[in-house]
Amino acid sequence: MHVLLIANQVTQATTLESVLNDKNIILEESEKMLRKATIIMELTQKEEREVAVANFEKASHDVNSIQLAINRDSVELSNLLVNINELEWVVAESAQKRAEVAEICTRLCIIEPDNAEEYYSRVLERAVKLFYKLHVDLANVKAALESIGRAHNLMKPDLAHGSGDVVDIAIVQDMIFSLHFLDLAHTYWPDLKIVKFDSELERLKMIRMNNSNSTSIATARIATARLRLLRSHIVNNQVFLDKEGTSVIAKLKTAFEKINILSKQLFNARFRVLENRLLTINDETPRNLPVGSRDILFRIDKRLLENVVNDTGVVSSEEEIGRAVGLNYGDYDISSPEFAINTLPPDY
For residue 46, being part of any structural domain is answered with: no
pLDDT at 251: 94
For residue 300, being part of any structural domain is answered with: yes
Long-range Cβ contacts of 109-116 (<8 Å, 24+ apart): 109/270, 109/273, 110/332, 110/334, 110/339, 111/334, 111/339, 111/341, 114/269, 114/272, 114/273, 116/265, 116/268, 116/269, 116/272
Give the residue numbers spanning the domain of 316: 112-153+169-196+232-339
For residue 38, being part of any structural domain is answered with: no
For residue 49, being part of any structural domain is answered with: no
**Using alpha carbons only, how large is the chain's radius of gyration in Å?**
47
Cα dihedral 339/344/345/347 (nearest 10):
-160
List of the chain residues with pLDDT < 50: 2-3, 87, 91, 160-165, 332-334, 338-348
Residue from 270, 292, 248 nearest 141 by CA: 248
Q: What is the C-alpha separation between 62 and 54, in angstroms, rounded? A: 12
pLDDT at 14: 62
Task: Give me the number of domains the chain comprises.
Answer: 1
For residue 104, being part of any structural domain is answered with: no
Residue type, 118: E
pLDDT at 165: 45
Q: What is the C-alpha separation between 145 and 237, in angstroms, rounded? A: 9
What are residue 161's DSSP bridge partners?
167
pLDDT at 86: 57
In angstroms, the Cα distances linking 44 to 59, 161, 288 are 22, 85, 86
For residue 180, being part of any structural domain is answered with: yes
